[in-house]
Amino acid sequence: MIQIRDVKKNYDGHDVLDGVDISIPENSVYGIIGKSGAGKSTLVRIAGLLEKPDSGSVIYHEETVSDLSGVALLERRRKNGMIFQNFNLFSSRTAGENVAYPLEISRFPANGIKSRVGELLDLVGIADKRDSPISRLSGGQKQRVAIARALANSPDVLFCDEATSALDPQTTDSILSLIRELQRTMNLTVVMITHQMEVVSRICERVSVLDGGRIVEEGTVHEVFSRPKSPVTREFIAHLMPEELKELPTTTVAGTDKYRLRFTGAVTDQPILSRLLRTFPVEVNILAGTIHQLSGEHMGELVVELSGEEEARTKACAWLSIHGIEVEEYANE
Ligand SMILES: Nc1ncnc2c1ncn2[C@@H]1O[C@H](COP(=O)(O)OP(=O)(O)O)[C@@H](O)[C@H]1O
Ligand SMILES: [Mg+2]
């Protein structure tokens, strides 16, 4: 368990982290999602012990590690792997030499480095690239080298700061699958820092939403995104809508409003819309619909136009909410 307790960080008079509390369970993939400037990279540097908080603490298992220094800090840091958006590889070294680097500077036996590097490159699926200069590798291959390097000293935790943000969707998929597989086979704790909803919905189990230096929501991916409470979480979920459905014509007809309806769990088995129409004098026009996968669970989402008298529309929305459907007024982004 990694605990972040009331962590604050101020840069140039600006509260970048303003009292962050998170508990990250072991042996899972934990997501921290937020927009650019939310404080994600600052948080991961503090959680990974590259930087100290102004106040608050970072606790690994039961041990407060944020006040470690000297050799104890270096040793503890070695048990953390980190990967970044821009890979941070040595461009003058080959893939194999990059992976060898952390072994050279740790107390790894010199005569075992060669085989360990081979083993690590094999683990990330690029054993054949050992002697390739970094400049010859694709983005996905570079991230694989970075992952192999991060795992060299058998860390307990892998921190990934926007690890797939520079990659195309297909490569993103393959890197996420690799991270998931490594998490399972090595019993790693993986912390995924991202602004990409796809990353969270594909591989994370729990998630925190960071906004303006504060955690605004926390829970399982399904809980957080099927019942979004904060505007920023709603924005992230809106990104999951297929592109062609994001831009819907604006309504000009009086007495008509557009809503997003989200269905999860038991309500997905009920004929809820036909019951709505029998109960209230409203009409429903379905404009768009999709099913999202949230960490393996389904969530249905419909964008509908509801027409009728204002009172009937208000009552219809309240009725839907009571019946477990998340109702949100729809605004074109
Ligand atoms: N070392 C630093 N010195 C001064 N300001 C910083 C530093 N690191 C981050 N910031 C500021 O903190 C805010 C959050 O940055 P960051 O943690 O990188 O956010 P994110 O990763 O979510 O985009 C930004 O306004 C950024 O300019
Ligand atoms: Mg960042």
- Ligand 1 centroid, distance to 34 Cα (angstroms): 13
Q: 200-204, 225-229, 253-257, 291-295: which has the highest mean pLDDT? A: 200-204
Look at residue 73 in the predicted model and tell me its pLDDT: 95
- Poorest-confidence range of 28-37, 236-245, 305-314? 236-245
Share of the chain above pLDDT 70, in %: 94
Average pLDDT over residues 5-9: 98
- 171's tokens: 């490569």
What integer pLDDT is reported at residue 333 of this predicted model? 46
Q: What is the CATH superfamily name and number for domain 2-226?
A: P-loop containing nucleotide triphosphate hydrolases (3.40.50.300)
Q: Is the CB of 12 under 6 A from ligand 1?
A: yes
CB 194 near ligand 1, within 6 Å: no
- The domain ranges of the chain are 2-226, 241-329
Q: How confident is the model at residue 244 (pLDDT cuts 50, 70, 90)?
A: low
Query: Chain-wide mean pLDDT for the chain?
Result: 91
Distance (Å) from CA 166 to ligand 1 centroid: 19
CA of 311 to the centre of ligand 1 (A): 47
Lowest mean pLDDT among 66-80, 119-133, 157-171, 235-249: 235-249
The predicted-structure confidence for 114-166, as pLDDT tens digits, reads as follows 999 999 999 999 999 999 999 999 999 999 999 999 999 999 999 999 999 99
Q: What is the mean pLDDT of residues 51-62?
A: 96
Q: In what order do the strands lie in the sheet with 326-329?
A: 283-294, 297-307, 256-263, 326-329
Integer Cα distance of 266 and 66 in angstroms: 44
11 lines ligand 1 (CB under 6 A): yes
Whole-structure pTM value = 0.86
Please check whether the two domains, 2-226 and 241-329, share a CATH topology. no
- pLDDT reported for residue 245: 59
Q: Which residues of 142-178 are buried (b: 16+ CB within 10 A; e: fewer)?
A: bbbbbbbbbbbbebbbbbbbbbbebbeeebbeebbeb
**pLDDT tens per residue, range 175-232:** 999 999 999 999 999 999 999 999 999 999 999 999 999 999 999 999 998 888 999 9
Is the domain covering 241-329 a CATH 3.30.310.50 domain?
no
In the chain, how long is the greatest CA-to-CA distance?
80
